[in-house]
Structure 1
Amino acid sequence: MQESLTRDTRLALDLALTVRHDGHGGVADDLADPAGLTTWVRAHPDTVPDTDAFAADQASLTAVRDLRAAVRTLFAHAVRPAGPSRADAARLLPVPEAVARLNAAAARTPTVPVLHWPEDAEPAVRTRAADGVHDLTATLAQAAIAFLAGPDRQRLRACHAPRCVRYFLKEHPRQEWCRPSCGNRARVARHHERHKTDQGA
């Protein structure tokens, strides 16, 4: 399924997933410092021209982290009435502030539509910076806007398995968790909870 995601959906999800479970009951941040952002951008060649030469500084890190907070707030808004990721529950922005932050970031680089039509594929429209100058935060914000306004948003869910803080796209009607390992943890937790309740009765 991952291969069929649009560029915008993939970028928006991948940005949100830089907040993750650390494997020890806490939350890890892949964008904790400029080196983390540099690594992440270099793994996403669609974000800036000459990705291999990209080197984040503190200003670009702050801008991307501020944008990520807005994106995760809007993801939490999108999954209602279900609850947000537990990593977000106590730090959500007001929705109007998140929308304003996203729109302001997207406006940092004016874009124009460009037609791509490979010989063996359907035509597709992508955007390109109008003046040839790309802003990383604008690229990520524009991807998030396209995702949030597009059909994939309807499949967005927060994984509520123990210790998980991920958002994911629901791929089939019975899917409740982002990964099979999360489903296993949730079933084990339910079993322990029932066992504890039975013993207390």
Structure 2
Amino acid sequence: MRRFLAVEFATTIRHDGHGGVTDELATPEALAEWLAERADIFSPPLDVEATHCDDALLAEVVELRRAVRALFARAVRPGPPSPADAHRLLPMEEAMARLNAAVAREPITLRLEWPDGQPPSASPESSTEDQRIRLVAALARSTTAFLTGPFRERLRACTAPRCVRYFVQGHGRQEWCKPSCANRARAARYYERQRSVRAGRDGAADS
């Protein structure tokens, strides 16, 4: 399954299994762990240990996530956005300005490589050694790439009860982000149908 850094970043807000919402980036330590698990999908590669996650970096990352989730909410229209923050989304102009400012902090150049006997290739190269700047810029850049790419039209907010995740449809009829959400949604629909049937019977009996 293809991985999208921007989508994984946005879905660090998720349901807690009890009707509430939990944050996978609640502490600097949690941020460091999340980055370490995804170091292989950063481009250019990120030195996670050198980012020195602290409260200041965490605050910057979380503020960027607010912008990303606001832009994702726009991307899924006319479908519903994630209910986790639908009532307090950043205005579009502010979200785009925040994202673009983060991207601009790390100028990227292309380095040409052409080994003997092989075709030429170009790899991205950062102009800064500050891993904290590179982290925030990479998260923003991945969002820009996703929103301007072909998969944006397949972005959805899961509509299963209690779920607040965004996901990329694997096929055109996919409604939920994972099988457990599909099972929960079907169970909820079945319950609603049964309740309607019982209500109809009770109404007929009273008439």
Band the TM-score falls in, shorter-chain normalisation: 0.7 to 0.9
Q: Which residue of 1 aligns with 2:105?
A: 108
Q: Which structure 2 residues correspond to residues 73-152 of structure 1 after superposition, within 5 A?
A: 73-114=70-111, 126-134=123-131, 135=133, 136-152=135-151
2:35 alignment partner, SS class:
helix
The TM-score with structure 1 as length reference comes to: 0.87
* Superposed CA offset, 1:65-100 (max 9, x none): 000010011011000000101112112111111101
- Describe the shift of the 1:42–1:191 C-alpha distance in structure 2 as closer, same or farther (beyond 3 A): same
2:87 alignment partner, SS class:
coil
Aligned positions, number: 194
- Counterpart CA distance in 2 for 1:177 and 1:124 is 39
- Describe the shift of the 1:141–1:161 C-alpha distance in structure 2 as closer, same or farther (beyond 3 A): same
User: Which of 44, 48, 59 is the equivalent residue of 1:51?
Assistant: 48
Shift of 1:114: 3.9
**Does residue 160 in structure 1 map to residue 153 in structure 2?**
no
Shift of 1:53: 4.5
* Superposed CA offset, 1:130-171 (max 9, x none): 234341111110111111111111111110100111111111
Tell me which amino acid in the other structure corresponds to 2:36: R
Tell me which amino acid in the other structure corresponds to 1:188: A
Tell me which amino acid in the other structure corresponds to 1:129: S
Shift of 1:116: 7.4
* Superposed CA offset, 1:100-147 (max 9, x none): 1100111111111345799xxx98755321234341111110111111
1:90 alignment partner, SS class:
helix
RMSD, aligned CA = 2.4
1:84 alignment partner, SS class:
coil
The TM-score with structure 2 as length reference comes to: 0.85
- Counterpart CA distance in 2 for 1:59 and 1:173 is 41
**Does residue 17 in structure 1 map to residue 11 in structure 2?**
yes
- Describe the shift of the 1:117–1:137 C-alpha distance in structure 2 as closer, same or farther (beyond 3 A): farther
Sequence identity percentage: 53
**Does residue 32 in structure 1 map to residue 32 in structure 2?**
no
Shift of 1:49: 3.3
- Describe the shift of the 1:171–1:198 C-alpha distance in structure 2 as closer, same or farther (beyond 3 A): same
Tell me which amino acid in the other structure corresponds to 1:127: P
1:185 alignment partner, SS class:
helix
1:113 alignment partner, SS class:
strand
Preserved contact between residue 110 and residue 125 of structure 2 (Cα < 8 Å): yes
Preserved contact between residue 109 and residue 133 of structure 1 (Cα < 8 Å): no
Q: Which residue of 2 aligns with 1:174?
A: 173
Give the greater-gyration-radius structure (CA): 2
**Does residue 67 in structure 1 map to residue 61 in structure 2?**
no
Preserved contact between residue 32 and residue 48 of structure 2 (Cα < 8 Å): no
1:127 alignment partner, SS class:
strand
Q: Which residue of 1 aligns with 2:198?
A: 199
- Counterpart CA distance in 2 for 1:123 and 1:82 is 43
- Counterpart CA distance in 2 for 1:167 and 1:13 is 7
- Counterpart CA distance in 2 for 1:96 and 1:159 is 25
- Give unpaired runs (5+ residues) of structure 1: none
